[in-house]
Homo-oligomer: A and B are copies of this chain.
Amino acid sequence: MNREIKYPNGMKKEIQVKTETPKKNIKKAHLGIDFEALINESNQYYLTKNLACIYKKPTPVQIVKVEYPSRNKAKITEAYYRMPSTTDYNGIYKGKYIDFEAKSCHTTSFSFKHIYEHQIKHLEIVSNMGGISFLLIEFSLYHQVFLLTSDKLIKLYNESLKDGRKSIPYDYFVKEGYEIKLGFSPKINYLQVIDLLIDSKKEENAS
């Protein structure tokens, strides 16, 4: 049974980047997309192995104008990027709710301007409700990926509101984050760190 009728067929053929973004931005964007692709591949691996079910949320878009060149094909001809309500990724692992934001950083510090205040709030809410929330960050200059738990991110963010600090330096991630070595399958095995986090929470509760 075909359950895809309402969506345009043969869409993949039309997927071509026709933007006029300056080259520099394209490069940056691609680095980000690579990181995103690595995470998505890892999530796909986890899903196939029946370990976790975690997805990237679609990019939110405000649709203004739609045309119907043919009977069943809706073509969006005017739309704008919207601010995301929450974070990039969420899902389930070991029965627990997982929620994180992923960022590519191409300098020696992670600027707070790359994360919205309401996203920080969201990570905090999730954490308070018993979920596991964090920031997954790639430092492209060092070819390193770190997981920073939301409690540390929130603390730094709140401090920054007082002392005016604008970013978190790379060294902080080295010291306070969990490095995730790039692997083959999965590429970014962040569930290993989540296992540690779950275990340390259990110990906390037990003591």
Query: Which A positions have Cβ atoms within 8 angstroms of B?
Result: 1, 3-8, 10-11, 14-16, 18-21, 47, 50, 52-53, 55, 57-68, 73-86, 90-97, 99, 112-113, 115-117, 122, 125-126, 128-131
Complex copy number for this chain: 2
User: Can you name the residue of chain B whose Cβ is closest to the Cβ of A52?
Assistant: B129
Q: Which chain B residues lie closer than 8 Å to A117 at the CB level?
A: 3
Assess whether A80 is in contact with B47, with CB atoms less than 8 Å apart: no
Assess whether A79 is in contact with B61, with CB atoms less than 8 Å apart: yes
Q: Which chain B residues lie closer than 8 Å to A61 at the CB level?
A: 58-59, 61, 63, 76, 79
User: Can you name the residue of chain B whose Cβ is closest to the Cβ of A19?
Assistant: B66
Q: Which chain B residues lie closer than 8 Å to A50 at the CB level?
A: 125, 128-129
CA distance A48 to B104 in the complex (A): 31
Assess whether A18 is in contact with B67, with CB atoms less than 8 Å apart: yes
User: Can you name the residue of chain B whose Cβ is closest to the Cβ of A131?
Assistant: B92
Assess whether B65 is in contact with A126, with CB atoms less than 8 Å apart: no
Q: Which chain B residues lie closer than 8 Å to A8 at the CB level?
A: 62-63, 80-81
Assess whether A66 is in contact with B1, with CB atoms less than 8 Å apart: no
Which residue among A19, A57, A76, A126 has the maximum number of chain B CB atoms within 10 Å of its CB?
A76
